[in-house]
Chain A
Amino acid sequence: MTAFVSLSGVTKTFRGRAGDVTALSDVDLTVTAGEFVTLIGPSGCGKSTLLRVVADLTAPTAGTVTVNGKTARQARLDQDYGIAFQQAGLMDWRTVVRNVELPLELRGWDRRRRRERALELLELVGLPDFAGARPAELSGGMQQRVAIARALATGPKLLLMDEPFGALDEMTRERLQAELARIARESGATVVFVTHSIPEAVYLSDRVVVMSPRPGRVAAVVAVALGERTDDTREAPEFFAKVTEVREALRGRAPVERR
């Protein structure tokens, strides 16, 4: 098993008006190729910051980040990852299919090839009939699917997802989780996923990284081996056992009551 993402001694300090805030303190983490890793923790534990450090959208104050054997910056320049955020962030002025095409367009794919690829991806996320629609005509869940299709467009070996289902209702959420699990398995991509939902983390992940706040650091790592995910997975006793384990890890290191 080779490491696809590795962080060592990563520290991130923000300068604020009321003094410096340490968002991440000496974080070490290794994600192997093809693994699905979830970062979970209360608000302010630095999980989103950690994801942004991997994406090179923000630079760490100290420590090293390696992605696909290169620096995080080089990995970004080489487009080694696809990213999705809590908001879909679609561009109102582009149709759905052209939103998915955007990263391909920027990579210089020709018109016919990128249209073909984008339609393929819309098929994958279950929206083949909405290619010509405007984002404003879509529901929140549909918009998020488009954003996922966009993240997958270049066929990246690494997927970074920052609470992509955070704003959705529970039913839509579970359906998209199942789809994401399938897509991740079929594509063999490495995934780093940020959430604050314990069942979501357990359902999706091979490993759940539990973080604690002030300063943000890794409090525990829970390995999950539930095999292929189906709807039955959510009702299996092993699933609940893992949910409990993650919950206790969250409680033990960072009491929820204190927030």
Chain B
Amino acid sequence: MTGRAARIGIPVVFGVLFLVAWQAIVVGNDIKPYLLPKPTAIWAQITANIDDILKTARVTGTNALAGLVAGAVLGILAALVASRFRVVDSLLVPLAAAVNAMPIIALAPIFNTMFSTTSAVPRRLVVTLVVFFPLFVNALRGLRQVEPIHRELLDSYAAGGWTFARTVRIPGALPFVFTGLRLAASLSVIAAVVAEYFGGLQNGLGTRITSAASNTAYPRAWAYVAAACALGLLFYLVATALERIATPWRTTR
């Protein structure tokens, strides 16, 4: 196997072997479902609950998307402002580093009281916050790194602020922004699912996982986990596709 075949083939072989081994170990050692259900049992639950899975995935996906868009827009805007004004930069950068070390997700129950437990806004706000910082940090890093030679070249053209931003600074920052977006896309789904563990509306994938687990319906819980995984993967793939479209020069290598 060479090239593309190997790149896809080897992981597929590993994945199939993994599932087969999983099934064999669970059946062979008589492992109880609370520890690890059989892949076939999980699959049966997925097909049995497909309507509800799609419905709840839509709710969680909408929360993740709303938060992702809001957080990305705010993060990029903040980076633009910070790259322009030294004071904002000095204030936001250490704050971003600190907040990034904090478990933002723990704000979920607090947002529930600040807004209301019957709205999706608290969850979306958590996602927004979680997404904001990777976008801000990456966009700022991209906006800041300008090759000295490009600056000299544009100086030699007597090109000013906006022209410089349009021809050098913004295109140069795009790969960084999209790296941030790719990261944030995965984070947004994770945050949207986990935020549901902290109470509030009972209509998403996360709440289905907790309720199935507390009813000891483990294969069903795993089925919803699998759905959450698929949703996360979808977000990641869409972000990767957007990255390729927006920065074609990076994929030619």
Partner of A136, one of B149, B159, B252: B252
Q: CB-CB contacts of A109-144 with B at 8 A, as 1s and 0s?
A: 000000000000000000000000011110000000
B29 touches A (CB below 8 Å): no
Interface residues of B in 157-189 (CB under 8 A from A): 157-159, 163, 167-168, 171-172, 174
User: Considering residues B150, B156, B158, B168, which has the most beta carbons from chain A within 10 angstroms of its beta carbon?
Assistant: B156
Question: Complex: how many Å from CA A85 to CA B147?
Answer: 13
Partner of A55, one of B156, B159, B167, B250: B156
Question: Complex: how many Å from CA A137 to CA B252?
Answer: 8
- Give 25 A-B contacts (CB < 8 Å), ordered by A residue: A57-B155, A57-B156, A76-B156, A77-B158, A83-B153, A83-B156, A85-B153, A89-B153, A91-B150, A91-B167, A91-B171, A92-B249, A92-B250, A93-B171, A93-B172, A93-B247, A94-B171, A102-B157, A102-B167, A105-B167, A106-B157, A106-B167, A134-B249, A136-B253, A137-B252
Question: Complex: how many Å from CA A85 to CA B249?
Answer: 22
B contacts, CB < 8 Å to A: 147, 149-150, 152-153, 155-159, 163, 167-168, 171-172, 174, 247, 249-250, 252-253
A103 touches B (CB below 8 Å): yes
| CB-based contact A79/B158 at 8 Å | yes
Residues of B within 8 A of A93 (CB): 171-172, 174, 247, 249
| CB-based contact A103/B157 at 8 Å | yes
A193 touches B (CB below 8 Å): no
Residues of A within 8 A of B250 (CB): 92
Residues of B within 8 A of A165 (CB): none
Residues of B within 8 A of A134 (CB): 249, 252
A68 touches B (CB below 8 Å): no
User: Considering residues A83, A103, A106, which has the most beta carbons from chain B within 10 angstroms of its beta carbon?
Assistant: A106
Residues of A within 8 A of B174 (CB): 93
Question: Complex: how many Å from CA A105 to CA B167?
Answer: 10
Distance of A78 from chain B, by nearest CB (Å): 8
Question: Complex: how many Å from CA A92 to CA B253?
Answer: 11
Which B residue's beta carbon lies closest to that of A103?
Answer: B157
The 8 A-B residue pairs whose C-beta atoms are closest, nearest first, are A89-B149, A93-B171, A134-B252, A83-B156, A77-B158, A92-B249, A93-B249, A134-B249
Residues of B within 8 A of A105 (CB): 167
Interface residues of A in 63-97 (CB under 8 A from B): 76-77, 79, 81, 83, 85, 87, 89, 91-94
Distance of B244 from chain A, by nearest CB (Å): 14
Distance of A54 from chain B, by nearest CB (Å): 11
Partner of A87, one of B149, B158, B168: B149
Question: Complex: how many Å from CA A91 to CA B159?
Answer: 16
Which A residue's beta carbon lies closest to that of B247?
Answer: A93
Question: Complex: how many Å from CA A81 to CA B158?
Answer: 11
Distance of B138 from chain A, by nearest CB (Å): 17
User: Considering residues A79, A92, A94, which has the most beta carbons from chain B within 10 angstroms of its beta carbon?
Assistant: A92
Residues of B within 8 A of A83 (CB): 152-153, 156
Question: Complex: how many Å from CA A87 to CA B167?
Answer: 18
Distance of B176 from chain A, by nearest CB (Å): 12
Question: Complex: how many Å from CA A137 to CA B253?
Answer: 7
Contact A76-B147, Cβ < 8 Å, known A93-B174, A93-B247, A136-B253? no
Distance of B67 from chain A, by nearest CB (Å): 29
Residues of B within 8 A of A89 (CB): 147, 149-150, 152-153
Question: Complex: how many Å from CA A106 to CA B156?
Answer: 11
Distance of B212 from chain A, by nearest CB (Å): 48
Which A residue's beta carbon lies closest to that of B170?
Answer: A93
Question: Complex: how many Å from CA A92 to CA B168?
Answer: 10
Question: Complex: how many Å from CA A232 to CA B158?
Answer: 41
Contact A85-B149, Cβ < 8 Å, known A93-B247, A136-B252? yes
Residues of A within 8 A of B249 (CB): 92-94, 134-136
Question: Complex: how many Å from CA A106 to CA B149?
Answer: 17
Partner of B159, one of A81, A92, A106: A106
Question: Complex: how many Å from CA A134 to CA B250?
Answer: 10
Question: Complex: how many Å from CA A252 to CA B117?
Answer: 86
Question: Complex: how many Å from CA A61 to CA B96?
Answer: 41
| CB-based contact B252/A81 at 8 Å | no
